[in-house]
Every structure is written in C-alpha cells, then in structure tokens.
Structure 1
Amino acid sequence: MAVDTADAFTAQNIVTTPPQTLSEVARATGTTFILALFVTLSGKPCAKLVPIEAVEQLQDDGVGFAGYAAGHMGQEPKDSDLVAVPDVSSFTPIPFVKPGLAIVHCDPHVEGKPWPYAPRVILKETLKKASDLGLSVNVGAEIEYFLVHRVGDGALTTADTADVSRQPCYDARDVTRMYDHLTEVSAAMNALGWGNYANDHEDGNGQFEQNFDYADAMTTADRVITARYLLSVIAEKRGMKATFMPKPFSDRTGSGMHLHLSLWNDAGSVFPDGDDPKGLGLSRTAYAFIAGILEHACALQGVIAPTVNSYKRTGATSTSSGATWSPRYATYGGNDRTHYLRVPDKNRVELRGGDGSANPYLAAATAIAAGLDGIERDLDPGTPGSGDSPSDMLPMTLLHAMDALESDPVVTGALDVAGPGVAEYFATLKREEFFAWHNTVSPWELDHYLTAF
C-alpha cells in the first residue's frame, strides 16, 4: 500500500553514457564473481556463478544450462542447451550480499536464437509491439512479502513474535523491531539507484512492503527478480524466511504484486487529459488501455495470479484485519483500492489482481498486450466504479483461470509472441499443478470428514 502522489509518474531525467562491455563494467566495479541469471516460466531464478577471469567468455558466448533441469522452460532432456546471453544494461553489483558479487540478467537462446519460452524474451517482444504503435511503457511494482519461521511440524509462524495486533498495518513499533532488516534492504536498493522511498508494515502480521521508483517495463521486471533474491538472502542472514507466497496464512491478508502502468510517446505521457468527461483526468487512449485489461482480466489472472494458492487470496471473504485488499471483480475506478484497476492519478493505472507468485516478465507482457488490444480496438471501459456483476467476477480457481486463458487469443498470443506453443505449455503446467493439489488430502478434509459419516 504505497503512499501515492499525483506526480509519482511524471517524466524522469535520463542520463546517457557510452555503452560499455560486460567485461569493462564488471572490472570497473571491482566485481570478482557474476551470477548470470534468468528465470523460468514459474519464476524460479536460475544462475551460474562466473568468475571475473571468464567474463570475456560470458560476454562473447554466454553460459550454457540444461534447460529441462532448470525447470519450466519448454525443454526435454534431449534438447540442446539453453545459452544465457547477458544483457549488460542489467548489470547489478551486489557487494552487500557478498563482496565482489554482481548479477547480470540474461536472455536464454537455443542454437543461436532467442528461446520463445524465456520470460524475458517474451517481454522484449511485447515491448517491440508497443514501440510499433509509437509507445513505450513504464512500470512500477509493489512487492509484498511475509517474514516467517517454519517450525518442526512444517507450520509457519511470524518471525517477529511480538507482531500480534489485530490491525498491524503501518504500526511504527512493528517496523522498528524489524529495523535492521528493513534498513539493510533499503540501503541496498538505494545503493543500486532504485530510489527506495518507503518501507512499511502491511496489513497482515509479519507482512512488509519496500517501495522503489518506477522505470521502463524491462528494468522494473529485472528489479523485481533482483529484489526477491535480495530480500530472501538478507532475511536468511537473520534466520528468517521471506516468502512471496500469495496467501501463507488463512486468516491474514495475502501478498500482492501490484503493477502501476503508464504509456508514453515522444511528447510525454499519453494518459492525462483535462477534458475527460468521465472525471478521472484521463485520455481516450488511457481509457482504451484500461478497457483492454478489463476485457481480458479473467485470462490475465492465469498469468498474474498463477498458483493454486493465488485464488485463496482473491477468493478470501475475510481476514483478521477486516479487509482482504484483493479484487474479486474486473472493475475500475478512481483512488479506490477495492477495484481491479485503480486510477490513483491522471498519470497511471494500478493493476491490483497480481500477487507475489507472479512472474514479473510475463505479468507485464500480458497486461501490456491486453491494454494495447484495447487501444487498437478503441474500447471503452464504461463508467468508473460500475461493475461487480457476476459477469465481471474473476476466476475462482487456477483451473477456471486456465479455461479463461486458453480461450483468450490476446493473452495466449502474448505468451506466444516469440514463438508458438508457450501458452499451451504454460496452461498444461498449471492444470497439472491444480490437479496435483486437488489429489492431495488436506488437514481441512480430515477435520471435516474423518468422523462425519
């Protein structure tokens, strides 16, 4: 729940510098080892640790992975290696994790061509489509997470045992007890130039959010992956686990990954319009973008809320604090956090349906594709604040979301933008995930059925 300001998405000054090679930038920053990193479709970060002595080889040839072993990357054991090709613009020194360590985000290739199942490749192709329309996309991301311990029987407990109040959101005492963790993360973000501007306790006991400035869509997606990595390793140093699981506790608010989206052209932001008859200060283009996301919301949920657990967040009826903060209907409105799409000011729209399990590259790619479809078709989202009818309801389970995804040519087209078969592969994986959960007997079933008959 970041504090909003009306000028949060105004234009930034851009400093241009001569391009450097990976070798030059690594040596200039005193790097001794590089994590050459990519993520799978399910969001797992995969990396090889490359010494500075081999940086030229990484730069020129990339580094190879057995794609099937890495996870959900559309490969079988017999397939050729994935070769992770570094994007030097993403180079990120992280000496606060280990002295001399850096991350570089990579684009997986197979046999010399970008691999269509690679999330970063998918987002790149989507951004090219936006560019063809004369548009660029800026994205801000809100990363919510819990700090927990996992005890001997597998149960989760709040890492801070004193964090027990019914409404802990923004509690200064809870923030202060986690001061060392929060300030270390904040200092790391600012050292990287991300512009950390707020660190707060969220709505659930043990839940936090640490905000950083928006950037272009690719940079923000890279930063989400880096931030999750940093949060995890910094928490581990203090004996805690940072979890981005959407709903780790039945009675607490879930963790979202809200995306703030804005469109730009050579003249600046295309969202504001002072003559807006709908009253939100938005342009016709902005409303069409909103309408596209709303029209494809059910299919979009399969990507931005991609786990069984996701639907325990969006389907929650109550929490100990009194609100779920999770949308159940595909609606939009002004500065109102009950909507799927919130318009906090005239410069952006906030997509609130995504959660902590979302792959940021896929989430951004599909949301952008849905919005661009609205622009190309000049759709109208209707009156702000209307909706909440059964036809606007979001999918109740991951299985329902996959049904919606497979029937939506825009969202499947966004996943298949770099090559065919990705959407079908993704939907199959998610259906298998649903049925693996469905086939597992849970404590709830034992409690309700063991002696009921």
Structure 2
Amino acid sequence: MQATSDLAELVRADNVEFILAVFVDLAGKPCAKLVPAEAVEELRDEGVGFAGYAAGLIGQQPSDPDIMAIPDVSSYTPIPFVRPGLALVHCDPHVNGAPWPYAPRVILRKAIDLAASSNLSLAVGAEIEYFLVNRDERGTLTVADPRDTAHQPCYDARGVTRMYDHLATVSKAMNALGWGNYANDHEDGNGQFEQNFKYADAMTTADRVITLRYLISVLAEQRGMIATFMPKPFGDRTGTGMHLHLSLWRDGQPTFPDQADPRKLGLSPLAYAFIGGILEHASALQAVIAPTVNSYKRTGAASTRSGATWSPRRAGYGGNDRTHFIRVPDGNRVELRGGDGSANPYLAMAATLTAGLDGVLNALDPGDPGAGKTELPQTLLHAVEALAADSVVSGALDAAGPGVSNYFGQAKREEFFDWHGTVGQWELDRYLTAF
C-alpha cells in the first residue's frame, strides 16, 4: 500500500525521472505525455493538456478547448522494467474544469456510483489474451515462434518455455506491482498466450488492463516481436477474448454465493438477477465489449485448427461450461465470455455493470441454465443498431453526459462501412474470373 497520497512525494521516493500521464480514448488507445519529475507538482495540481481531436475518439473537434488530464494518484505505477526511472499514472480528462463526459474513466466512475447508490460494488478479474507475431514487409503475419506449429498448442510446456523470457518479464512486473500474477499459459492458438492477475475493484482492474496491454506491447517490442490484442488476427485460429469475472459485493461481503440455490449453481437470487440483466442487454452490450469489425470474425467463427472457437454465438448462461456467453465456474463469480481483446475495459465494465444492475433493480429472471439462448449480433453493424435501440446500455455510455453513445455508435458505423468499402483478397479470389 502506498505510504502517501501525494504524487510528488511518490515520484521522489521512487527516484522517478519521468511520468507517463495516461488516458485512453473511447477506442481504447492509450494517450500519454512524458512529464519530467521536475514538473510533477504542475502535473499534480493542474494536469497536463492535450488537443483532444488529435488524440482520437474522445468527442472533440479541432476548435474545442484542450483536454486537461488530471492524474489519479491511486493509480500511480512505477514501471522501471520498461525504462529505469519511469512511472505511469492514469488520468481523468477534464475540459474547462469539469470531467469530460466522453472520457472512458469518467464513464466507468458513473457506473460505479450507480452501483454504490444500491450499496453495491463490482469486483472484476480480467483475462488478458494476446498473440506474439511478426509482420514482414508485405504485411504478412507469422507467429513469432516459428516452432509453434502444433495442431493443439494449448498449454504446451515447450511453447511456454520458448517464450519464457518474455512471459517471465511480464509476470515479474505484475508481481512487483502487487497485482498477484497467478498464471501464464500458452492459449489455444499458435502464438497465443494469456497472463492473469488477481481481481480487484472495477476501476483498479480497468487501469491494470490498460497498463498491462502497454507493458506487454513494449516488452514484446524490446524482443523484436509484436503483441496484438486484435480479436482474430488469423482466420483459422482461435480468437483473442477478454473474459471478465464479475461479482457484486455489499458492505465488504460477497452477494453471489448461496448454497441453497435450487438451480445447483451456488448462486443467490441477486446473482441470477444480475445475470438476467446482462442477458437481457447482451446484443447491445456486444457493441461495447466486442467493438470492432474484426470482433465478429471471432464470435462468428465456425471452427478453428484446434477444433473449438471458445467464443459464444448465443446469449445464454450455464455452469462450468466454456461454450456459454456467461459461465458460472462457482458460486463466487460469473464469467462474461463475449468480450474480446479490442474492448475498452472502462466502457466494457461500465456497460456490463449497468446492464447487470438493471437486472438487479428489476428482478430479471434469466431462466434455467442453458435455456432461451438469443443469437448474438452477426456483425459490428448489427451490434451498433442494437446499442442504439437499448436505453440501458446506451445510457451507461451517456451517464456522464448526453450524446456519447450516439457519437460512439456513429464512429463504429463508419468503421464498419470503411471496412465494407474495401476490396479484399476474398472478393478477388471469388469474383475476379467468376463471370
């Protein structure tokens, strides 16, 4: 635990030379300025300015006033394993002195406040999956480990060992930060890995997801590799998810476990209502937790080289069964499996929490395990249309101010049609001489 809540004191105590002042845009892009330690008091007291329109999808035009990124000292993170003397702090974007409603961290805080109004808090564990690849001058992707060619490479001890240096460096970094890394494994696709850390409150976990993606990316680059969180970089291999393990707490006590559960999953009525809310809003939720064109190559996959896609195509729930949209591994938590590596963790947790709370407030019944499975959206466009029609999930994005959901949805429509308007290899192979 930090001995002080003063950013300047922390920086001096750790002999930090530079601080990355970080925020993410709605698409999840990490934006930062490198602030020297000599200017830490200014950063602490005034924040640091950004031209929002240049930063990315953050709700600004070129004529708008600067975004001021105000550091949250509780997120201060020394990262000397990236560069000696370097630290990182997550920031809340403000404009004209007020929290900016298009800022993902600001949006998640509103969802957390909504839960707190019912004396509930959300704990989240996130599974971080990614591929380690190389890309040649023609743009062709290959697995970074050329010997990673097994038909079923998942958990292969040899594949893990060959990537030992990278995996161990990331693991040691997480543990040095007190995150509690408990497993690092080779996943189901060739070149695919997963690294896990212990659950925490929603904001802390979202910050850690962004930090870990950054760490994995730069540490992979130092070894001449590309780490990609793209949901489906290879058409014939398992996609990359970002599974969220969720539980609600009240007064420091878990609300999900119930040994008397007649459905035999060990869950309380409140937990079932939370599941009911997520399932009720699953189609709209996909626009937030699977927010790219490529996401639907993952959820729409029929098969992979290993024999399973490990991604849900329907919005159902059940026990310890990884084919479900919501898996219940035990009575302590539920696992949402619809999200992927392109998801913005702040938005994903805000939308999921809001959907689940709608179930709690309205006592929604998800039905019996395995029953009533709704088809998930087939494309990003379908998901965005579902988002526009769903006042609860769109309301989660608009919680800090109106217009965010429409702005996000329009950006995603443009993304879909930009892809749709691009002529690809599949079309050339199919149509060039077909007529």
Partner of 1:12: none
Aligned equivalent of 1:430, options 402, 412, 418: 412
Partner of 2:141: 156
* Residues 182-208 of structure 1: per-residue CA shift (max 9 Å, x gap): 001100110010100100000000000
2-structure distance, mates of 1:381, 1:223: 31
In the alignment, structure 1 residue 101 sits paired with structure 2 residue 101? no
Partner AA of 2:370 in structure 1: G
Q: Match of 1:261, SS?
A: strand
Partner AA of 1:155 in structure 2: T
* Residues 385-427 of structure 1: per-residue CA shift (max 9 Å, x gap): 2234xxx000000000001000000000000000000000000
Within a 5 Å distance, the mapping from 1:88-237 to structure 2 comes to 88-237=73-222
Aligned equivalent of 2:316, options 320, 331, 356: 331
The unaligned stretches of length 5 or more in structure 2 are: none
Q: Which moved more, 1:266-275 or 1:81-90?
A: 266-275
Partner of 2:273: 288
Tell me if structure 2 keeps the 8 A contact 1:341–1:350. Answer: yes
Tell me if structure 2 keeps the 8 A contact 1:399–1:434. Answer: yes
In the alignment, structure 1 residue 276 sits paired with structure 2 residue 261? yes
Within a 5 Å distance, the mapping from 1:244-255 to structure 2 comes to 244-255=229-240
Shift of 1:18: 5.9
2-structure distance, mates of 1:252, 1:386: 29
Partner of 1:7: none
1-structure distance, mates of 2:350, 2:44: 27
Partner of 1:43: 28
Tell me if structure 1 keeps the 8 A contact 2:30–2:210. Answer: yes
In the alignment, structure 1 residue 406 sits paired with structure 2 residue 383? no
Tell me if structure 2 keeps the 8 A contact 1:299–1:404. Answer: yes
1-structure distance, mates of 2:292, 2:243: 16
Could you list the structure 1 runs, at least 4 aligned residues long, displaced by more than 2 angstroms after superposition.
none
Identical-residue share of aligned pairs (%):
72
Partner of 2:425: 443
Partner AA of 2:116 in structure 1: S
* Residues 316-350 of structure 1: per-residue CA shift (max 9 Å, x gap): 00100000000000000010000000000101000
In the alignment, structure 1 residue 417 sits paired with structure 2 residue 399? yes
Tell me if structure 2 keeps the 8 A contact 1:123–1:364. Answer: yes
Shift of 1:374: 0.2
2-structure distance, mates of 1:439, 1:160: 34
Q: Match of 1:257, SS?
A: coil
Q: Match of 1:102, SS?
A: strand
1-structure distance, mates of 2:5, 2:350: 28
Shift of 1:20: 1.8
2-structure distance, mates of 1:50, 1:152: 34
2-structure distance, mates of 1:31, 1:369: 38
In the alignment, structure 1 residue 380 sits paired with structure 2 residue 380? no
Tell me if structure 1 keeps the 8 A contact 2:4–2:10. Answer: no
TM-score by length of 1: 0.95
1-structure distance, mates of 2:403, 2:263: 40
* Residues 252-284 of structure 1: per-residue CA shift (max 9 Å, x gap): 000000000000011500001111111111111
Partner AA of 1:68 in structure 2: Y
2-structure distance, mates of 1:119, 1:142: 20
Partner of 1:87: 72
Tell me if structure 2 keeps the 8 A contact 1:185–1:230. Answer: yes
Aligned equivalent of 2:295, options 302, 310, 319: 310
